[in-house]
Each structure stands twice: as structure tokens, then as C-alpha cells.
Amino acid sequence: MFEYDFMRNAFGAATMVAILAGCTGYFLVLRAQTFAGHALAHVGFAGATGAVLVGISPLWGFLLVTLAGGVGMGLLGERLEGRDVAIGIVLAVSLGVGLLFLHFFTSYAAQATALLFGNLLGVDTATLEILAVLAAVSLAALALLSRPLLFASLQPELAEAKGVSLRLISVLYLAIVAIATAECAQIVGVLLVFGLMIAPAAAAQRLCNALATGVLLSVVFALADAWVGLALAYYTDWPSSFWIIALSGLTYLAATLPRPVRD
């Protein structure tokens, strides 16, 4: 299957996105902000379809709107907690706005399906280069932010007392999550981003408590789900998004199974 350019591009994109999703998703689960990735994906759908409407790449529209949404969520801070109803309404409205934009250009029905469910096998070289740059910038920013982010996540009161700006940390981190969400949507789609970003990270946290090991395990799970899912999609001709998300779910399920207690 590596004889085909589209498969090599797909594996390259899946690798970069899985690494980014594994790293950012770990902190999402740790901070109990898993709904944020799901919310940003839905908000980004409106941006992507709006970009299609005006004739630019949906990736840029998705990225700009998710960045704005991530920064907005970060600025809201604690006021966002416990607002599931309000967030859910925003998600529904975002999808509705996206569908309204597509209504004006019915010829983009196939592109809408790709936005909703992903089209990993359709990643071209230009998109692959953009994903590589975004992933590199996001991972570098996350590495720089990791120490204060961990401090603010585990002991927010003490971190604030030590002079750490919880709001600034939240804004910067959710901006990184926004980029990761935009990347994940390119391979699994808006509706399935939640699975790829959260399931491997949640499985890793079920199996170990150490930060470095947990992040590494989260990345390994995400990579395995993406690579095996792509291979299965090639040999079965089933959608790659289905296989990747199904494997992510099975990974989490396996991590939750009771393990034998050693004497």
C-alpha cells in the first residue's frame, strides 16, 4: 500500500495528527476539559463551511474560528464550568450555521461529508506541509507551556498563589487545543474528533499516573489507532475514520477492563 502517493500522504498526516492529539488530549483529560475539544470541532465546522462559501480553503476557516473559540473559552475561565447546556446550544447552533452556509452551495455536498467525517485518503502534499508546520508549532508551544500547565492543572490555588496566571495558561493551552482540533478534523472529521483526542489519552491515564509515561503512552495509543485504522481501511475499503475511531474506543475499553491483582 506504500506504493501509492495518497497512502504515504495519509500515513504522514495520521502520524503528525496522532502525536499532536495524544499530547494535547492528555492534558484535556487531566484538566477535565474533554468537552472543549468536542465544542471547538463543532464551532470550527461553521468556520470551515464559511470559508468554502467565500472561496478559500476550509482548513484556514476551521483554524481561525477554532482559535477564536479556544481563546474565548480560555478567557471565560471558571465561568465556563458547569455550563453544559449553554455549550451544547452553541454546538448545535454552530452546526446549523455550517449547514446554512452549505445550503447556498449544494455542489459542495461531498466536501461537507469530508468535513463531518474526515477524508484522510484525500490529503495532498500541500495540506501535508501545512499540517506539519501547525503540528510542529503546537508541540513546541505545548512543551514550553507544560510545566506551568501541569502546575495549574493539579494545584490551581497554589499555582495562582505563586503568581501563575490561570487565565493566561488556559487561553494559551486552549489555543493549542484549537490547532490540534483543526488538524484532527482533517483526518477523522468534525463529528469524530472527540474520539481521537480523548480515548487514547483517557486510556493512558487509566494505566499509569506518571506524566511523562502517560503522555508517551497516549501518543503510542493514538499512533497505533491511526496506523492500524489506515491499514484496515486500505484492505477492507471501509472508511478510515470509522476504523480509527473504532480502534480508539476499543483501546479505551481495554484499558478499563479489570486487571488481576498481584499478591
Q: What is the pLDDT along the chain (263 residues), one digit of tens a residue?
A: 888 888 899 899 889 989 999 999 999 888 887 777 777 877 887 888 788 777 777 778 888 888 887 787 777 665 555 455 556 666 777 777 777 777 776 655 566 666 666 777 778 888 888 889 989 999 999 999 988 888 888 888 888 888 888 888 888 888 888 888 888 877 777 767 878 888 999 999 999 888 889 999 999 999 999 999 999 999 998 888 889 989 999 999 999 887 654 44
Interatomic CA distance for residues 72 and 178, integer angstroms: 11
Q: Name the CATH architecture for the domain at 5-191.
A: Orthogonal Bundle (1.10)
Contact 15, 123 (CB under 8 A): no
231: number of Cβ within 10 Å: 15
Interatomic CA distance for residues 220 and 22, integer angstroms: 8
User: Helix, strand, coil shares of the chain as percentages rounded to 5?
Assistant: 85, 0, 15
| The residue type at 82 | G
Report the alpha-carbon angle 243-25-60, nearest 5. 80
Domain residues of the chain, as ranges?
5-191
Contact 188, 244 (CB under 8 A): yes
Predicted TM-score (pTM) of this structure: 0.82
Contact 2, 10 (CB under 8 A): no
